[in-house]
Structure formats: structure tokens, C-alpha cells
């Protein structure tokens, strides 16, 4: 289905219909620049995670500021990125099935493509597809650095896979995927730092073992918005896969810095614009952004412009608001900006970014949303 | 963006790529028939909730079995339904803003359209739009029967709104919206029955008050998959807005019947098809259906074909599985059917239903997904 955007370029922000996914372009651009500068100072490469934004426009902006390419989490995302002009894409995940391998190999005719493996079955399937399409795919061995999700154990099991890749026709060994997902949202600074350090130690040990056996890792990949400063200064990781930094969300805003204060590296730039559709009591209202407009997996949204107010519950198309004294004047038709609990799956619900600067709509960017396959 | 379906008609089910939204047509059709028969026996009308399925194809199937029309939760859904041939649509919710009112009025040129209000502001905006488009819109007063979401309080406040509707040009008073959302998932049978009875008492009292003032309610609307048997036999409700019954989900399957056993009115017919993409340990695997393929707001998915297995955690594109002894032979590439925790927001993630019968794909139905606006 073709879904038209809820706004027009040049329109005042207040006229955008709701629910809509707003992007504050000034804040977004400051976030882009801030991480790019930080990576340069740390002397590491950036390969931002495009699963966050699902937008070739944003990927190209990241690369214009120095990113070497982007990563993403599945074949359909890689296709959308390459179709949108991104020439270097890593699928930072395993893929299974002959169809997906064939699509990835076909994509390697158009762009530099890399993917992760954690089993010899992946190597065999990717090699067969690469040979069939006459291409070379770069392959990273994913190691389990603490998340217990995918990835072989560090050390000898990773070496066995690297050796398998080196021998497989159509594949080229490129390095290690060592992302520690469950470390990203440890709120306490010291505990988060220690989790990242533990992951870095496993990556270092594995890198050194592989080097002793003649398999040099060109890339050691990992990091996220919660831990990038640790990986970037670890001396092990040389490519950072930070995603959420461009938008920030309410969940990441709960992380604390070394002084116990909320982290302030990046600004909220992504909002869900919602309208008050019911005001049935002095202290209650309902907005038109519920479970189909906001991902609730990491908690309720917070408010960009209002204090003394709480988003207490969601239905499919309702958000229930509890109003403190200062917000009781809210009336039906008022529009408010919500900060999503989790940006990635919220973006996935929308077809368009409505980019604005000041109080004017300036950009309408399509989103390669969907479950993909 | 145009998203092609992950299957072809006639394809063996096992070849469908993942993640995909599967619909077991036999089970789905049994659910359709079962509720239609039940409503006939109870002597009430059915107006199934199309927010669940977002599909004019399914709405027409429901009407072919006797439903008088469907309801939905927002203007964009009503548009998709009318465009797909559904001639009678109730937006069982408030709408705010001149644009949405204009779109609803324009739609009333094509179909019988009704909507809810809980404030005089809604009446004024809808009346202005109806007059501008030269149409008549049916209007129900939503009353708060216990959910504390939208709706005026029962009794006198509802009467005031009914009087306002009766006087407003372009509007016709039709009755009461008295849905008790928070009663649907009370697992205990007696408590669920009592909550529904309390809602029915409020609807009855309000209906009788309005009748004494000359405002007869043609429709008393409400009910869901958790409580429909109570509303259907209440003597008050005459139109049931049941939605999830066509699919069932893991959350509704936790409701208990009068004997303390899981309810068995309907069968699971909706599944997310997923592929094992990593098997890094004997007792762990990862599938390619995570937060962007399954709504997690009502808990984790369960398994259609496997026991002794648990979906323990989700990332954007990963579902982590904990495997009991019997499932340890699972290998990379295996496909499994997951039962979503919550069907409505899961459907909203997909562009296509892949309907199958036995082991063959038989139907590809588009989904009017999206946040709408």
C-alpha cells in the first residue's frame, strides 16, 4: 500500500496531521556531527547502524561526515540502502536460507557487502551463493561477548570459523563482530564500563589468537550508543556501529554518566506528534498515539515540552495521559511531542520522517519499514 | 514504499520466506462461523472490530456471515475499508481536528458512517464538516463504563451530549458506545463477568435516562473477545464489536472459563513464521522474528508446534529461544510458527497476510497498516 506523507514541505509544524514521526533537523544534525567528531578524536572508524533509521538519506548524511559505510540487521534493509545509493553495507547479523543468501550475493554486484556468521552452515550457504553469482562477500565471525544471543564463543571456536571462511570460495575473512547488546542499557556508569571492558577483552584475546594462526582481523566491530566511548578507546575495536545516537530515546536517556547524572552526549531529535482527542476529566486526557504509533517494549514515552504529566497506559490507538495541575488547560485538538521509549521499533511503524527546522516542515524522507524478509 | 508479499499463491508453506504473517484459513473460517452462530443464538447484531485485521477482504467475509458492518478506530482505517467495498463503518472512537472531520464527512458520501463523541467540541466540529459536505453522520455518545480512557460519565453528562447531537445540523443521534476495554483481559471468569455486568448497568441506566427524555438509542455498542458472551446476553447491548476472535493471541489464551480452564471459544489462526538463524549452543537458538516482527506489549509469543521451549527475549531482529531437551535438534534454517502475544499491533507491522490451507499458500491479502493520520 502506498501511504502518503502526513505533511507537505513548507507547512507550519502545527498543521502536520497526527500521529506523525517528527525529526528536529537541527538537533539531528548536531548529533551527527558530535559523534563524527568524537570518532575522529578517538581514532576509530564509524559504521553507523542503519537499523535505527532505515533511510538511505540518513546513511548518506552519515557517510558525508566520514562514516566508512553503514551496517544493518537483515537483507531487506541492505537492499533498501544499496538501492538508495549506499555503497558499503555490513549485515551485522547471521542470515539463514538459500533465498536470502542469493539476494545478498546479487547485492554484492552493486556494492561492497559483508555479513556475519557463527556456524559452518552459514559459511557453506554463503559460499555457494557467492560462487553462483560470481561475487566476493566479506565475512566476519560473530563472537559471544556476553549477550548470549548469537555468536560463537571467543577463542578456538572463532578460529575454526575464520579458517573455514579463508578456505571457502567466494568469501573473504574480514574480522570479528563483537557487539555487546545487553551492555547498552546498564544505567550505572561503572557497571556499563565493566561490561564493555569484558567484551573488549574477549575480542582482543580472539583477535590475537587468530593473528597467531595467520588470520588478521581487518575490522573489529561493535559498540552502541550506550558504550561507544569505551569501545572507541579500548585499543581493540576499530569500527563503531552506533545507531540510536542520531535520535536518542527515553530509554537511552536513563543511562547515567560517571557523575551519576543522565548522559548528555546527544539530544532528542525524534518525536511522535500527537493530538489530544479526548479530555473526559480535569486530570485525564487521551492522545491519538498508542501502540500502533509508539513501540512500548522499553517503557512509555516521555514529553518534549511538558512537565507534570505522565503517559500512563496505551491501547492500540489511545495514549492515556495523567495531567498535573499545570497541564489541566490542555484541550481537545492540542498537539504535543512525545519522546519514544525505544526509537528503532518506533521508526519501524512509520512510512515517513517529517523533518522540520524551527516551525516549518523541511524534509519528507521515506522509511524502508516493515518486517522485511 | 511498495512491499511485495513474501510468498506466492500455490507455494508450499515451507517455502514462504520469513518473517511472514501466516493465516490458517481453516481455523480462521471456523472462528468466523463460530461467533456468527453465537451472535444469532444470543439475538444480537455483530459489528466486528476491523482494527484487528485492517483488511476489507476480512471485513466482507464477516459481513457475508451476517455482520451488519464493521467498526474501526480511526479515519484512515475507515477510508481503507470503504475503498475496499465496506458500506457501513463506525469509528468507535473520538476524532479531533478539522482535517480528520472533513475526511470523515467526505467518506459519508460513499458509505454509512458513524463516529463517537465525548465532548461538545466533537459535536461542533463534526456538524460543521457534515454541513460542508452535505452529508449526515451518525453519532454515538461514548460513556465511561470503567476503563477511564475516553467517554463522558454515564447518566446526565451523556444526556447533555445526546441533546446536543439531536440539535446539530448534519448529525443524527444513534446510541451509546459503552466498551469496557480493561475488562477484556481479566483472567478470572467471575471478576471478568462482574466487570462486564457493571458496564452493562451503566449503559442500561444511561439508555433509560435518555429514553425518558425522548432520545431512543438505536444501538448500544461494546464488547470484545474477552467479554462478548456477557454483553450478548445482558439485554442491554445489541451490537457487539468483537475483534480478536478471528485470530486469537497468546494474551487472550490466558483468560479462564467458569471452570478455571483456559477459554476455548476460538482457535489460534494467526502466526508469525520465523526461521532459526543461529544455534550457538545446545540449549539456545535465535530466530529472525524480534521486536519488528512481533508486538511485545502483551508478553512474549508462544509456540504453535513445539513444547518445552521458551521465547525469552527479543531484540529488533532477534528472538532468543531457550530449548528444552526435546527441541535441541533444531538446526539453522528450520522454520517455526509463533503465536503473537497481541494480535492487533502485530498485524500492524505487516503488509500482507499469507493465507494457507493445509500446506499450501492460498491467499495474499494486503493490510492497511501504519500509524494512519
pLDDT digits 0-9 by tens, A190-225:
999 999 999 999 999 999 999 999 999 999 999 999
Q: Is A149 on the interface with B (CB under 8 A)?
A: yes
What average pLDDT score do residues A340-358 get?
A: 97
- Give the Cβ contact number of residue A132 at 10 Å: 14
Out of B292, B315, B345, the one facing A371 most closely (by C-beta) is B292
Residue-averaged pLDDT of chain A: 97
pLDDT at position B1 is: 59
Chain B positions in Cβ-Cβ contact with residue A297 (cut-off 8 Å): 291, 296-297, 314
**Separation of alpha carbons B339 and B289, rounded Å:** 11
- On the question of pLDDT at B210 being above 80, the answer is yes
B106 has a pLDDT exceeding 70: yes
pLDDT 10s digits, A222-269: 999 999 999 999 999 999 999 999 999 999 999 999 999 999 999 999
Q: What is the Cα–Cα distance from B304 to B281, expressed in whole angstroms? A: 23
Over 70: is that where the pLDDT of A298 sits?
Answer: yes
What does the pLDDT average to over B145-172?
A: 98
Residue A62 to residue B192: CA distance in whole angstroms: 53
pLDDT at B331 over 80: yes
Q: Mean pLDDT throughout A308-313?
A: 98
CB contact under 8 A, A97 and B17: yes
Residue B82 is predicted with a pLDDT of 97
Q: How many CA atoms lie within 13 A of B62 on its CB side?
A: 35
- Interface predicted TM-score (ipTM) of this complex, two decimals: 0.95
Residue A1 pLDDT greater than 80, yes or no: no
Q: By CB neighbour count within 10 A (0-12 exposed, 13-18 middle, 19+ buried), where does B329 fall?
A: exposed
pLDDT at residue B370, as a whole number: 84
CA dist., res. A144 & res. A158, Å (int): 10
Q: Residue B233: is its pLDDT beyond 90?
A: yes
Q: Residue A2: what pLDDT?
A: 67
Q: Which residues of B touch A346 (CB under 8 A)?
A: none
The answer, yes or no, to whether residue A342 has pLDDT greater than 80, is yes
Chain B's closest residue to A158, CA to CA, is B280
Q: B43-80: string of b/e by CB count within 10 Å (b at 16+)?
A: ebbbbbbbbbbbbbbbbbbbbebebebbbbbbbbbbbb
B18: closest chain A residue by CA: A373
- Contact residues, chain B, for A2 at CB < 8 Å: 2
Please give the pLDDT value at position B3. 79
Percent of chain A with pLDDT over 70: 99
What value does the mean pLDDT of chain B take?
Answer: 97
Residue A3 confidence (pLDDT) above 90: no
Q: Does A19 reach chain B within 8 Å, measured CB to CB?
A: yes
Q: Which A residues 214-243 touch B at CB under 8 Å?
A: none
Where does the pLDDT of residue B2 fall: very low under 50, low under 70, confident under 90, or very high at 90 and above?
low
Is the pLDDT at B112 greater than 80? The verdict is: yes
For A35-88, how does the pLDDT look when each residue is reduced to its tens digit (9 = 90+)?
999 999 999 999 999 999 999 999 999 999 999 999 999 999 999 999 999 999
Pair A46, A36: CB distance under 8 Å: yes
Work out the pLDDT band at B153, boundaries 50, 70, 90.
very high
In the predicted model, is pLDDT for residue A178 greater than 80? yes
Confidence of residue A315 (pLDDT cuts 50, 70, 90): very high
User: What is the average per-residue pLDDT within B39-59?
Assistant: 98
pLDDT at position B372: 79
Question: What number is the average pLDDT over the span B219-241?
Answer: 98
Amino acid at each position: 500500500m502506498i501511504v502518503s506523507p502526513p505533511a507537505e514541505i513548507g507547512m507550519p509544524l502545527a498543521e502536520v496531521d497526527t500521529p506523525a514521526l517528527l525529526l528536529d533537523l537541527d538537533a539531528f544534525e548536531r548529533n551527527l556531527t558530535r559523534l563524527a567528531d568524537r570518532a575522529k578524536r578517538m581514532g576509530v572508524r564509524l559504521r553507523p547502524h542503519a537499523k535505527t533509521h532505515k533511510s538511505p538519506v540518513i546513511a548518506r548524511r552519515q557517510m558525508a561526515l566520514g562514516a566508512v559505510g553503514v551496517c544493518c540487521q537483515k537483507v531487506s534493509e541492505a537492499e533498501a540502502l544499496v538501492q538508495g545509493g549506499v555503497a558499503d553495507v555490513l549485515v551485522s547479523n547471521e542470515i539463514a536460507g538459500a533465498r536470502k543468501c542469493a539476494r545478498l550475493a546479487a547485492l554484492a554486484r552493486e556494492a561492497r557487502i559483508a555479513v556475519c556468521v557463527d556456524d559452518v552452515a552459514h559459511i557453506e550457504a554463503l559460499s555457494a551463493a557467492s560462487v553462483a553469482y560470481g561475487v566476493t562477500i566479506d565475512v566476519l565471525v560473530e563472537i559471544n561477548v556476553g549477550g548470549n544471543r548469537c555468536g560463537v564463543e571467543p577463542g578456538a571456536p572463532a578460529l575454526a570459523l575464520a579458517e573455514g571462511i579463508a578456505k571457502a570460495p567466494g568469501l573473504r575473512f574480514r574480522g570479528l563482530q563483537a557487539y555487546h547488546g545487553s551492555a547498552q542499557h546498564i544505567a550505572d556508569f561503572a557497571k556499563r564500563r565493566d561490561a564493555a571492558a569484558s567484551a573488549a577483552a574477549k575480542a582482543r584475546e580472539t583477535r590475537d589468537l587468530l593473528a597467531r594462526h595467520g588470520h588478521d582481523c581487518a575490522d573489529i566491530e561493535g559498540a552502541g550508543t550506550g558504550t561507544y566511548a569505551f569501545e572507541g578507546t579500548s585499543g581493540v575495536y576499530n569500527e563503531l556501529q552506533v545507531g540510536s545516537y542520531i535520535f536518542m530515546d527515553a530509554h537511552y536517556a536513563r543511562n547515567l554518566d560517571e557523575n551519576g547524572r543522565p548522559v548528555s552526549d546527544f539530544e532528542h531529535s525524534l518525536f511522535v506528534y500527537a493530538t489530544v482527542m479526548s479530555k473526559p476529566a480535569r486530570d485525564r486526557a487521551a492522545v491519538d498515539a498508542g501502540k500502533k504509533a509508539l513501540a512500548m517494549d522499553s517503557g512509555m514515552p516521555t514529553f518534549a515540552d511538558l512537565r507534570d504529566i505522565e503517559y500512563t497506559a496505551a491501547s492500540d490507538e489511545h495514549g492515556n495521559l495523567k495531567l498535573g495541575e499545570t497541564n489541566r488547560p490542555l484541550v481537545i485538538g492540542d498537539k504535543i511531542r512525545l519522546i519514544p521509549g525505544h526509537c528503532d521499533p518506533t521508526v519501524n511503524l512509520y512510512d515517513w520522517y517529517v523533518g522540520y527546522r524551527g516551525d516549518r516542515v523541511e524534509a519528507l524522507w521515506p522509511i524502508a519499514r516493515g518486517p522485511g524478509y
